[in-house]
Amino acid sequence: MANFPTHIAVGTIVSGALATVTLAADVVAPENLVAVTLAGVLGSVLPDIDLKDSRPSQALFAGLGVFFAFAVLFSLDNKYSVAEMLAMWLGTLLAVRYLARPFFHHMSYHRGIWHSLIAGLFCSFATAVIYYYLLGRHEGVSWLAAGFMMVGFLTHLALDEIYSVDVMDTRIKASFGTALKVADMRHPGHSIAMVAAAMFAFWLAPSTKTFTDGMLNKPMWTSLHQRMLPQGQWFGVDWQNVARWKDFSGRTEVAPAPTPPSGISTGSIPAPTPAETPAPKE
């Protein structure tokens, strides 16, 4: 399988590319773009959360602890005192990092249910729930973050399958087929529980109407198609005019100085009208 830095690097590239397209399509405000992009990066490493006693798992649970701690803090009303909010923030951080982690590893194993499409759907729906209820994001932004999460999750699974093929030795490793799967057939109970969790998360999630209406907006796709490539200029430079003065030897010729207007019309551009000479004053 791919190592942790590889998943982080590839997940960041894929999420960044998706964020670029999203920004060009103008479907989300710039202040929300970072939040949804982070969901994609998190999804690209989330399947390795079931690695017991490993640095990736420790880093993931540490990051999830901080994330949920701040999510709880942001969802609190001003009716609580500073001491109470600090206690809830710290309690959430310690609970996720030191209580949820050993319980989770006791109930899971690597390349199990968390390396499946069902788990990806659950994480995607749960992302929409967290962004909407805990972080207070709009329902459209919440589902966009869910989409980023799903893309990052699928990137992880596909990358593990690619690394299961030894191209140099022209063989397929025994782990092939264990990363990208619909469900965990070796443990049907885990798969059933994950399906139930995904259905419950989808039931809790906000309405998908704003997100689906935005994705089915034909003018948005038309505008995005027009912006995929530059219209005549790259980075603000007209490279065709630059290459016009360049010969085959690589030397750049100096463009000839413009000649004064002759007063002859080409038929498409009207000839300039000469300025009238003012009469001498008497």
Q: Is the pLDDT of residue 254 over 90?
A: no
pLDDT of residue 268: 36
The Cα–Cα gap between 195 and 180 comes to 16
Q: E-strand spans in 89-188?
A: 165-166, 171-172
Question: Kind of pairing, strands 165-166 and 171-172?
Answer: antiparallel
From 42-56, 69-83, 249-263, the region with the lowest mean pLDDT: 249-263
Q: Is the pLDDT of residue 236 over 80?
A: no
**Higher pLDDT, residue 35 or 59:** 35
Q: Is the pLDDT of residue 253 over 80?
A: no
Summarised one tens digit per residue, pLDDT across range 115-130 is 889 999 999 999 999 9
Cβ atoms of 24 and 39 within 8 Å: the answer is no
Helix axes 139-163, 30-43, angle to 10 degrees: 30
Predicted TM-score (pTM) of the model is 0.72
pLDDT of residue 196: 95
Task: Give the percent of the chain with pLDDT over 90.
Answer: 23
HEC profile for 115-136?
CCHHHHHHHHHHHHHHHHHHCC
pLDDT of residue 37: 92
245 three-state secondary structure: coil
Q: Is the pLDDT of residue 151 over 90?
A: yes
Summarised one tens digit per residue, pLDDT across range 4-29 is 788 888 989 999 999 888 888 877 78
Place of tokens 């002859």: 264
Q: Which residues pair with 238 in a beta bridge?
A: none
Average pLDDT, the chain: 77
Q: Is the pLDDT of residue 197 over 80?
A: yes
Cβ atoms of 176 and 161 within 8 Å: the answer is yes
Cβ atoms of 139 and 210 within 8 Å: the answer is yes
**Higher pLDDT, residue 280 or 110:** 110
Residues with Cβ < 8 Å from 198, sequence gap 6 or more?
118, 121, 122, 125
The Cα–Cα gap between 55 and 10 comes to 18
Place of tokens 């589902």: 143
Cβ atoms of 50 and 105 within 8 Å: the answer is yes
Summarised one tens digit per residue, pLDDT across range 24-33 is 887 778 788 8
Cβ atoms of 61 and 97 within 8 Å: the answer is yes
